[in-house]
Amino acid sequence: MKIKTVLTILLITIILIALGYLVAVNVHLMPEQAATRAIAVDRLFQQILGIAAVIFLLVEGLLIYAVIRFRRKAGESGDGEPIHGNLAIEIVWTLIPTLIVVWIAISSVQALNAIEAAPADSVVVEVIGRQFAWEFVYPESGHRSTELHLPVGQTARLEITSEDVIHSLWIPDFRAKRDATPGQISELLVTPTVIGVYPIRCAELCGAAHAAMNSVVIVESLEDFEAWLGKVREISLDPLVIFTDYGCGACHALPAAGATGAVGPSMVGIAERIAQRQLGVVVEDYLRHSILNPNVYIVEGFPAQVMPSNFGERLTAEQLEILVAYLAAQ
Ligand code: CUA
């Protein structure tokens, strides 16, 4: 190879490595880092992305260079010069990837150990996935909620399971994801670091309304968290709080509760519409029946088998009557 060719390749290599490095350090693909584990995960991700970007640009850059520089010229019809291998290059391109993979393995184990190092647990939350809603149970106080409340700066142990099919609890801002598997409890440790509200998604295709199986994690100060634990018990006989806490608003619109869900029928004018359908049932009975057995009266244009059918177990008889009375007046 001529010295000029070697220098050209070297120059291209340096430019591409610099470009790859710049891309890797400047691209912000991730949401907020709202938990301790996010820092370890992101650091590892950025490092691996950096290596991958450099290798990608190097390989593609040299490929493009070779295609242009060594293309067949007009009038050339013979074979290229035979090549009998190059021991030095073969050793280098075996050794470097081996070292990179070993380094990734060691770094990953270290990051995993740091993430899973469990300090004394402060909060235990049982997470139940079911088609198509999440429920969070605080076993110490017996609270149940469709939103995950966590105190900032404290490690929470999430005990995740499912009552039907496999779901997956995913909190992108925490870099935390774990499957919810029926008959099995999977643990996930998270230590939120920034007060705020972050989305929770189901990350496992679990049925017709998989995409609607969303919730939020509310990270708050310890005082607010404890106040919430007290508050839920105190006012859970308020129909709007029941409507919100049991996740009805994800699918049903009810302006008084700030709910705009459109998966199921709106609650606006519901009583009048029930009466108009002339099914021979009292409005209250229709509503009660529809909450307990959601697949009996399916309104045209809305899907069946979407609303959970276990509200009979989750609502107290008193809560059910309060909710029915409230909705019957809409
Ligand atoms: Cu639950 Cu997807």
Decide: 213 in ligand 1 pocket, CB within 6 A.
yes
Tokens of 166: 């496999």
Q: Which atom of ligand 1 is nearest to the CA of 204?
A: 2
Q: What is the CA radius of gyration of the chain?
A: 29
Residue nearest to atom 1 of ligand 1 (CA): 167
30 in helix, strand or coil?
A: coil
Rounded to whole angstroms, the Cα distance separating 33 from 18 reads: 27
Q: What spacing in Å lies between the alpha carbon of 205 and ligand 1's midpoint?
A: 5
Question: At a CB cut-off of 8 Å and minimum separation 6, what does 257 contact?
Answer: 240, 243, 244, 248, 249
- Nearest-5° Cα angle at 312, 307 to 317: 135
pLDDT of residue 297: 84
**Percent of the chain scored above 90 by pLDDT?**
32
Instruction: Copy the structure tokens of residue 169.
Output: 């609890």
Rounded average pLDDT over 164-182 = 94
Q: What is the pLDDT of residues 206-248, one digit of tens each?
A: 988 899 899 999 999 988 898 888 766 555 788 888 888 888 8
Residues forming beta bridges with residue 127, ordered by sequence position: 136, 160
**Tens-place pLDDT, residues 208-218:** 889 989 999 99
Query: 140 is written with which tokens?
Result: 């110490």
